[in-house]
Amino acid sequence: MRTPIGRIAVALCVAAWVVAKPFPVAAQGLGGGPSPAAPTGPRDIDFRTRVSMSGGPRYSPETGLMVESVRILGNENVSSLKVQSMLRTKKGRLFDPLDVQNDVKRLTNEGLFRNVRTYTRPTESGGIEVTFEVFERPTIRYVRFVGNRLVSDKRLLQESGIKVGDALMLYSVEEARRRVEEYYRNHGYAKTQVIVGEGNEPQHRGVVFLIHEGRFQRISKVDFIGNTIATDARLKTQIKSKPGILYYFGGGINFDKIDEDQQRLTAYYRNLGYFSAVVGRELVPSDDGKWGSLTFVIREGPRYELKGVALEGNTQFTTESLMSHLDLHTGEHFNMSKMQHDVNTLKDLYGGHGYIFADVKPNIRYLDEPGQLMVVYSVEEGKQFKVGDIRVHIQGEFPHTERNVVLNRLSFQPGDVIDIRKIRASERRLKASQLFANDPARNAVPRIVIRPPELTSLDEAVAEDTRDQSIRGQSPDSETERAVLDVYCPPTSASFTGR
């Protein structure tokens, strides 16, 4: 039989055991019930957590570790100072694994390192030490050219695109070789060969190009094969590759120029309606290697014929009246120059009746029949404008009578329907007056700029009113769209007085 003291001791022991025993506590949701367990798959763990799970330091904005030192290992050619200048992880800042991750990407993208590894170690003072181990790409310690007699090392180095200190990568060396060889061939040395003597192996530390320049080649003659619509003499006016004067002055073989000549000849045939024309070229060297015979081989193909010319979008003028001014006609062969002339003619017709912003777009529509097409001119007429304010802009201080000199040379006045042809004639008259500068090279020429009302902001209007300018007034007709005409007249060095 237990004594009261014994029973009390047993009760105390049981109570202590109950208090100390851990009981599972269900997570509480918003409504007091248990919430579902969060997934713990690898994709749901962020970078900072992965660092801590793999034995790295734990990080949070509140309890972040201070970076006490940053070490750089493995660098031989790139200084530690340069590497540290590219890092966001620095001594004295809080450690952040995301910064370390971005630092690795940044170093790799610089092209100086083929791989970067990082290590972290806690310090005795409670901070952290971060180590970046870099694996350098070989850098170019020297660039040399062997065999070049006609072109300087400095010029070839500039053309190669590589320099000392760049990462030594195989594709960059090969690209430099190709560029040096292309430079020679584009300057008349069609037989030049450039090979890489050093710089194409991992253990190399420099680049050496071995150059066999060969002989300078000139064009001896230019021939054409396959041309029927144009003579050789006509086609020669379209190209720039030609024999030199007296054969020995100029006429060097330039492959870039020859390629451009191919494009010019192709465009020439396109303009005449040969849309499937193909132009090739052949360069045959002479036996002694000094000369090259250039031949352009042309396959003209069919010449397209116009089965119809049409207009769409025109409402202010009848189709018959507009068609009477066109150069392209049904049944003719297509001609690009005539089509462009028609576009300008239609714009001038509309511009002569106030539709100064009319737009005309030619659409070439190929038909099912081989060699057949039609051209449709799409017209966007826009609004009709009359002359509003005429504002004369002359730099410097000139009396009012001299502004009238400008106004008196204009073929229009406020209230007139704008005629683009009169605008151009007035510009020509101002240029020929010799009262103003007329230097197209400096863009200092008299010009007239037409501004529709919607492009004249309130601020511009206020600014114009505050200036002492000559404004020829407008008529009270407010129902018609009016445009502001700005007349810009750059002054000459000598002043003039009321002529």
Q: Where do the structural domains in the chain lie, given as residue ranges?
A: 46-136, 143-212, 218-299, 305-380, 386-489
Indicate if 218-299 has the same CATH topology as 143-212.
yes
Half-sphere exposure of residue 7: CA atoms within 13 angstroms, side-chain side: 4
Question: Sign of the CA dihedral 406, 408, 409, 410?
Answer: positive
CA distance 388 to 471: 10
Do 415 and 481 touch, CB atoms closer than 8 A? no
Residue 251 class from Cβ within 10 Å (0-12 exposed, 13-18 middle, 19+ buried)? buried
Do the beta carbons of residue 301 and residue 278 sit within 8 Å?
A: yes
Residue 493 corresponds to which tokens in the numbers above?
């060095």
CA dihedral 68→74→76→82, nearest 10 degrees, is -40
Instruction: Report residue 317 as tokens.
Output: 């003028």
Q: What is the pLDDT of residue 315?
A: 94
Tell me the C-alpha distance between 499 and 496, whole Å. 8
Mean per-residue pLDDT, 436-452:
87
32 or 235, higher pLDDT: 235
The pLDDT of residue 43 is above 70: no
Amino acid 408: pLDDT: 87
Using the predicted structure, report yes or no on whether residue 234 has a pLDDT greater than 80.
yes
CA-to-CA distance for 220 and 217, rounded, in angstroms? Answer: 9
Q: Residue 324: is its pLDDT beyond 60?
A: yes
- Give the fold, CATH level 3, of 386-489: Ubiquitin-like (UB roll) (3.10.20)
- pLDDT band per the 50, 70, 90 thresholds, residue 36: very low
Match 């007709």 to its residue by tokens.
477
Please state, in angstroms and rounded to a whole number, the distance separating the CA atoms of residues 489 and 395. Answer: 8
Given a contact cutoff of 8 angstroms between Cβ atoms, the answer to whether 498 and 399 are in contact is: yes
pLDDT at 1: 47
Domain 218-299 listed as CATH 3.10.20.310: yes
Q: Is 305-380 a CATH 3.10.20.310 domain?
A: yes
pLDDT digits (tens, 9 = 90+) for 459-480: 454 444 444 444 444 444 444 6
Reading the block at residue 247, the tokens are 């054969």
The string of pLDDT tens digits covering residues 134-159 is 988 888 889 999 998 888 899 999 99
Q: Which two tokens stand for residue 179?
A: 């560029």
pLDDT value at residue 460: 52
Domain 143-212: homologous superfamily in CATH: membrane protein fhac (3.10.20.310)
Predicted local distance difference test score (pLDDT) of residue 53: 54
So what's the pLDDT on residue 5? 53
* H or E, element range at 115: strand 113-122
Count of residues in the chain: 499
Q: From the CB of residue 88, how many other CB atoms can be counted at a distance below 10 Å?
A: 12
For the record, the structure tokens of 262 come out as 């191919």
Domain 46-136 CATH assignment equals 3.10.20.310: yes
Tokens 């700005």 found at: 486
The pLDDT score that the predictor gives to residue 397 is: 58
